[in-house]
Structure 1
């Protein structure tokens, strides 16, 4: 007979730990479990760090007990879970607090599980199907319709970016077009569109990555997971307006049928793009998704992607990078991110960034032909994307998700997906669309 693991209680203790546990110890034993010793200042990070220590002790289930602010509980969850175990935290407080935290955990668990899957487990088609099933289950199937465009059908409908990037794999590229419409009116305007990069594995193509750079590239569909989970969270928190979800899914592999350096892609809007780096593929698939989002007439368009190493170099792995031509909207987005306690930093983007990757053969190249895209690589990638949005970029936000995944564990995070960005995008939807 299998024994049921005991649920250990975790308390907050404002007093320092007893001396025998070391000066400044964050965690010490309690008669019913453990206590976390909190000093004023950076409390949220201290709680998350303490949760990592407790996870490393091998605890599998814990009950938060006593007085716990909501943000501290969430920080504990983020620190305690790991890629092998995305559950095991029982929240405390009034029913509404527990409900909010449980809803958030539900959405983050979906995203983290999806990102942490192996490339073999998650094909482009399956990514689209799982996202559609999750939103349908969250909202109710009567509020959701969707279609998945895959393989040669992408060419027929003019979605050349996704097709070209994914044609080197035996597993067909796919685009999910999902319509969440709680109004019941098929003529209701689309209030917002979310676009996610869904590269289920990125070898770099013929611009092949080194082993150390390729090892974690199952995470390259983190943008798709993030916007899907953000939409689900917004739905659970009361989203009442029509929103489109568009996922651009492909495997970037090498084969006799893969796209090559020097190829030129002609997009649906007539823009021609020379391929000077097959590892700058995320922007190529997002260009299709952004055009479809604009076709919907949505006043708010948000895309999210693990797009550039340059963003990680600029802001580190604790922050996500934000780009926008709509400066007023970007300021509000940063405010929402701060309210949600998700570190986000705005990096430069101007119209002239569209011209930073010139080509003698096409309207633009997809990068500069140097490692990492050269100076300003993240801004240049955002400039490329801005070619494919309407209204001079008004109402458009681009998130480069530098903080979405950790290759190795650190003091605050287990290795794997973090979910950073989900709360921010859900908050933007609720404030900008539901207002």
Structure 2
């Protein structure tokens, strides 16, 4: 993994493989962004090269220049920032990601983008860490195609040593911002690794094994308990049992808990996180078209984000208690698979008529929400790759957020916005609730296609404990990037949601 450091030394004196500075777009092309701190000879040389290359200074543009006068670095990478008046933390995060991806194989990199405040510095550090991510394909070679009993870990990689150049000094707040970026970056990479793992290597049980191994190697502040298929059946978790009954890889619910040290204030604030963890979604008997299955290894991105968030919260050591519930199952067709028309009984005693076995995520989450509610946390967030309707409404980069409390829903949206993870508040219209009425059960688990993201949220709301503020985050689009890497976002699993949830937990401190 990358190593993040902080310095206040002049960028030009740093003996690194690459030095990253910024450029802005002007009417005459790219120009070095203010605050680069480079000697006059270096700035003049870079300006000349940028002009010769007809660089524009636009976001995602990177230009590498070697042998820059009066600069100790082997090469200087000039990262485009766009218009000088529009250099936001999100722009800096993306530029840092693009720049570091272009030199991710180097041993040492310094980054000196313009940072007017701690938020901008944190965004640069976050983007730089994120841009170094690669999934080690060698970690999958242990498999011959057969089911394995233990998920292989990603091979250890030192990654580059990244030195963030600070013009804000090295005060406690500045240091904390960079240290926090490293913790979140490492956790997000864990979520990305889990999402990118081939589905024959990441079954419900090997997901458990992988998370246990990471927790064992971490701060030691996270405890884990696991409900296997027998315990789930005995405990009345009919939703997840039904989804997993068609697979040879039985379901699991994992509870991960972090509790801060006892304080004088008594009980700490508490947050419960529930993640959808369908390790592969064939659609069950309502089988998906072949072309729609290729990315269904990513249907556990919500559970991956929750696992990573609990670990990050423990590493950061905040005063908020965090409990994560990973609802893990594989949705497969077989002679034992769930059928449309079946009726199952959920953890809270609600009976549900199955309409479409490809709408399985809400069933595992329903049981998870019941379990989370039993502990009576202050708030609950569930996160899931739940509906294609989310992508129809909001595209592939923006999550949909619903909830039973407008204030809390807004807090979730704001937390994501502060971390470069965009989301949009969506309603839960009462008039759509009748679409979940059933003549053979308390409710059916799916309504018609109109407002599909919203009716999924309405279904989940049925399993949230009374008087507990709750938000549902649908990440069907932003959890997985099928296109080329862009800024701080890699191809494949994105780790979306980890930074949002960490920020939300931190906001509960007050």
TM-score (norm 2): 0.76
User: 3-state SS of the aligned residue for 2:164?
Assistant: coil
- Equivalence for 1:226: 305
1:180 lines up with 2:254 in the alignment: no
Tell me, in whole angstroms, the C-alpha distance in 1 between the residues paired with 2:200 and 2:247.
12
Counterparts of 1:123-202 in structure 2, within 5 Å, are 123-135=203-215, 137-140=217-220, 143-183=221-261, 191-202=270-281
Among 303, 322, 328, the residue aligned to 1:243: 322
Could you say which residue in structure 1 is the equivalent of 2:124?
Answer: 72
3-state SS of the aligned residue for 2:407?
helix
In structure 2, the residue matched to 1:3 is: none
Work out the CA distance in 2 between the residues paired with 1:64 and 1:169: 49
CA contact (8 A) 2:23 2:79 kept: yes
Cα shift at 1:417: 1.1
Residue 361 of structure 2 is matched in structure 1 by 282
Deviation at 1:82, TM superposition (A): 3.7
- Larger deviation: 253-262 or 236-245? 236-245
Structure 1: gaps (5+ residues): 1-5
Q: Deviations over 1:48-87 (max 9, x none)?
A: 2674477468845551333453313323443453434984
In 2, Cα distance between equivalents of 1:20 and 1:58: 26
Indicate if the aligned counterparts of 2:277 and 2:303 stay in contact, CA closer than 8 A. yes
**Could you tell which deviates more after superposition, 409-418 or 398-407?**
409-418
Displacement, 1:382? 0.5
Aligned to 1:420: 496
Give the one of 332, 346, 349 matched to 2:428: 349
Q: Is the 8 A contact 1:190 1:244 kept in 2?
A: no
Match of 1:374 in 2: 449
- For residue 217 of structure 1, report the CA deviation from its aligned partner: 0.7
- Quote the residue 1:398 is aligned against: 472
Q: 99-108 or 212-221: which moved more?
A: 99-108
Alpha-carbon separation, structure 1, partners of 2:108 and 2:397: 26
Confirm or deny that 1:98 pairs with 2:178.
Answer: yes
Deviation at 1:209, TM superposition (A): 1.0
Does the CA-based 8 Å contact 1:131-1:225 persist in structure 2?
no
Deviating more after overlay: 51-60 vs 86-95: 51-60
Write the distance in 2 (CA, Å) between the matches of 1:309 and 1:211: 16
Task: Determine if contact 2:351/2:441 at 8 Å carries over to the other structure.
Answer: yes
1:121 aligned onto 2:201: yes
Match of 1:323? Answer: 402
Q: Which residue does 2:79 correspond to in 1?
A: 36
Q: CA deviation at 1:271?
A: 1.3
- How far apart in 2 are the matches of 1:88 and 1:232? 23
Contact 2:381 2:471 in 1 (8 A): yes
> What do you get for the CA RMSD once the two structures are aligned?
2.7
CA contact 1:190–1:297 (8 Å) conserved in 2: no
Number of the residue aligned with 1:359:
438
Alpha carbons 2:436, 2:446 under 8 Å: kept: yes
Pick closer, same or farther for the CA change 1:97–1:296 going to 2, 3 Å.
Answer: closer
Question: What CA distance in whole angstroms lies between the structure 2 residues aligned with 1:174 and 1:47?
Answer: 36
Residue 313 to residue 61, structure 1, CA distance change in 2 (3 Å): farther
Q: Is contact 1:103–1:233 with CA below 8 Å preserved after alignment?
A: yes
User: Is residue 248–residue 289 contact of structure 1 (8 Å, CA) maintained in 2?
Assistant: yes
After superposition, give the CA deviation of every residue in 1:6-47 in whole Å (9 maximum; x if it has no partner): 943322345256222124153222333222243322553476
Aligned to 1:211: 290
Q: Does 1:24 align with 2:56?
A: yes
CA contact (8 A) 2:93 2:126 kept: no
Distance change in 2, residues 1:88/1:58 (3 Å)? closer
CA distance in 2, matches of 1:229, 1:152: 26
Unaligned segments of structure 2, at least 5 residues: 1-15, 25-30, 33-46, 68-73, 115-120, 138-156
Alpha-carbon distance in structure 1 between the residues aligned to 2:364 and 2:386: 11
Cα distance change, pair 259–338 in 1 and its aligned pair in 2 (3 A): same
Number of residues paired by the alignment?
421
Deviation at 1:408, TM superposition (A): 2.5
Q: Which has the larger radius of gyration?
A: 2
